Structure 1
């Protein structure tokens, strides 16, 4: 992650904004949003607008590290994917990036019960992550439909597993990750973010990762790097 983006963290500290901290324990889980090809593979439909952020953050390598560390430490990972089905094409209105996603057929699948063409598609998971996805610590949730988890079973699954604390990672920082974070906070979960295991759109005059980092520093308990997350596991009460 570029140093000027971490200046957001430094500025918040200098402004006297508390950093409550986040202790990893047996009631902690990881939530990863949209670890899918349309964001993270070079032929993905969103790659042209996120690639700079993903490369600066080493997002793919860091997400892989988060999966690996979670597996090694027995931490549950809840994956919140994004899928669109043919029935969703009937939506009569939508915001700017909804229009973008639908026009590009981002995350498109043939149907809820139809896996034809799913493998290696934009909706499929990045190959680098697949070695972790069938492990016992992985819970694949129902898809969210726009940005937040309100229409999925994520909160239900977290509560069924007695999770109280959540570490967020995944794509993209200013949209699905931030929306999930805000909703989980409102539902009473303690939330922190592994920021460089994420990335988002970066265009001339528009650095959405930096903007999201400002918001996340204000509302979460702590912002980790992947390396700091690894170090915190040494003191975790698991």
Structure 2
């Protein structure tokens, strides 16, 4: 997979406090994986490089509103996220209590995300982008190739990888710019790393990705 700023974008899923801050509700489940992968630092390196090299950046966030708590069906991690009050917002038209909350972006990423140029899509509601406008926004901006990273590896990142691949995009996953939950003898990161290599067009380290982005020519 080749990259160039005209047709390639950086897509980040869930760069939010509930996953990436020690105060986040999911931090106990992902902290070891985040530390092992240097996820926080690697995501910042990708954002910084994308901005300096004129790659478009898209963020696919995860938000839940009060009425989402009334869902009657869901998978194991969906139930866990609702029970833990993860990614909670007062409503789609309200920012009351949003600043610094678990649903807010990690503070060190805000200069890149809130620069008026990053495209923040509607929220994905479970794991994949089927329910938001990510694919539409990518196509409307002439993007055919995606560099994908974020949280969490075997859930939202993998689901985005699968759907974008099905939608006809080339997808390279940055496998050390993500992390996953580890609990009850289950290692989400190990599962994700296997599927990244088996499904994506490419699976790169952050260092490899940064080098490719800096070498790209418009």
Shift of 1:234: 3.5
1:183-198 equivalences under 5 Å are 183-198=163-178
Match 1:28 to one of 1, 4, 8:
8
Runs of 4+ in 1 over 3 A off after TM superposition: none
Structure 2 CA distance, aligned partners of 1:37 and 1:129? 11
SS at match of 2:216: coil
Structure 2 CA distance, aligned partners of 1:76 and 1:150? 21
Contact persistence 1:174–1:208 (CA under 8 A): yes
Hey, what does 2:124 align to over in structure 1?
A: 144
Hey, what does 2:185 align to over in structure 1?
A: 205
Hey, what does 2:97 align to over in structure 1?
A: 117
Instruction: Establish whether residue 93 from structure 1 lines up as the match of residue 73 from structure 2.
Output: yes
Instruction: Establish whether residue 180 from structure 1 lines up as the match of residue 134 from structure 2.
Output: no
Instruction: Establish whether residue 104 from structure 1 lines up as the match of residue 104 from structure 2.
Output: no
Structure 1 CA distance, aligned partners of 2:77 and 2:201? 28
Shift of 1:137: 3.8
User: Is there any run of 5+ residues in structure 1 with no aligned partner, and where?
Assistant: 1-21
Contact persistence 1:194–1:223 (CA under 8 A): yes
Contact persistence 1:71–1:137 (CA under 8 A): no
Shift of 1:229: 0.8
TM-score by length of 2: 0.97
- For the aligned residue pairs, the C-alpha RMSD in angstroms reads 1.0
User: Is there any run of 5+ residues in structure 2 with no aligned partner, and where?
Assistant: none
Shift of 1:136: 4.6
SS at match of 2:193: helix
Structure 1 CA distance, aligned partners of 2:114 and 2:65? 24
How many residues of Structure 1 are paired with residues of Structure 2 in the alignment? 217
Structure 1 CA distance, aligned partners of 2:184 and 2:70? 33
Q: Which moved more, 1:99-108 or 1:134-143?
A: 134-143
Instruction: Establish whether residue 170 from structure 1 lines up as the match of residue 150 from structure 2.
Output: yes
Q: Which moved more, 1:218-227 or 1:130-139?
A: 130-139
Hey, what does 1:3 align to over in structure 2?
A: none
SS at match of 1:233: helix
| Structure of greater Rg | 1
Structure 1 CA distance, aligned partners of 2:128 and 2:214? 31
Structure 2 CA distance, aligned partners of 1:94 and 1:199? 23
Superimposed CA distance per residue, residues 131-176 of structure 1 (whole angstroms, 9 cap, x where no aligned partner): 1112254100000000000010101100100100001000000000
Superimposed CA distance per residue, residues 162-216 of structure 1 (whole angstroms, 9 cap, x where no aligned partner): 1000010000000000000100000100011111111011235322111111111
